Structure 1
């Protein structure tokens, strides 16, 4: 039986392919959903991809993951830089003993000054930035590796 993994995406990622394609590429959220599902299948993971522009909903998803001990791949998008509520909820995922991988399509450190600080990175198992959609694959591989070590 494949291990369930949540891939959660924050604000404006529903606009992939439209919003700043020079930064985020030309592929859309549906392509990301298909890629992550396929990569997960290859790794023995049952991947569910979600996206929200609502901070409270994303926090709720972290509670769900913590309560169910569900590994998470998270692209918190703009919430990365200021959402202490999301950081606290993400911390609970780690406290539940499962990995939480932070992913960013672009490299925030190479962009605007305000993007250089993440409130999620200190509570994440690991962070992957600047690799486009491939970063999600790397994060899923990391999750598979970590949970494989636990088995």
Structure 2
């Protein structure tokens, strides 16, 4: 069974309580439950992770290289700051979909720049946690060929 790696960046463990006017009231556990349901529907497995550590995220991306069928990445606060995560993504060699819960283009201008986008196959933003569903269904489709 193909496995899709899902990595969530800094502060996403605070979903549901952190700025609900921006991110909504769904928690990271809700995101994971949604992804588990979609993965079952699509016949894939998921490896769901969250970290506030840039180094840990980079390590997971590198370990997923060659062992996972695709990657969903919500880089959160590392979106406009981490060239190191971009470099790890560039060696991943599988489809990558960047997901953001809120629409970056409507937020602070410094959030408009996305380093991970330079390595992503696609980017989904502004659909709340449903963006994960869209991304997971597409990666599952790509994994099936």
- How many equivalent residue pairs? 145
> 1:100 maps to which residue?
96
Q: Could you state the TM-score of these two structures normalised by the residue count of structure 2?
A: 0.96
**More relative contact order, 1 or 2 (CA 8 Å, 6+ apart):** 2
* Equivalent residues of 2:99, 2:123 under 8 A apart: yes
> 2:5 maps to which residue?
6
> 1:83 maps to which residue?
82
Q: CA 1:39 to 1:69, structure 2 compared with 1: closer, same or farther past 3 Å? A: closer
Q: Which has the higher helix share?
A: 1
Point out 4+ residue stretches in structure 1 off by more than 4 angstroms: none
* Equivalent residues of 1:37, 1:48 under 8 A apart: no
Q: Could you state the TM-score of these two structures normalised by the residue count of structure 1?
A: 0.92
> 1:26 maps to which residue?
25
> 1:110 maps to which residue?
106
- In the alignment, the residues of structure 2 paired with residue 132 and residue 124 of structure 1 have an alpha-carbon distance, to the nearest angstrom, of 19
Unaligned stretches of 5+ in structure 2?
none
Unaligned stretches of 5+ in structure 1?
none
RMSD: 1.0
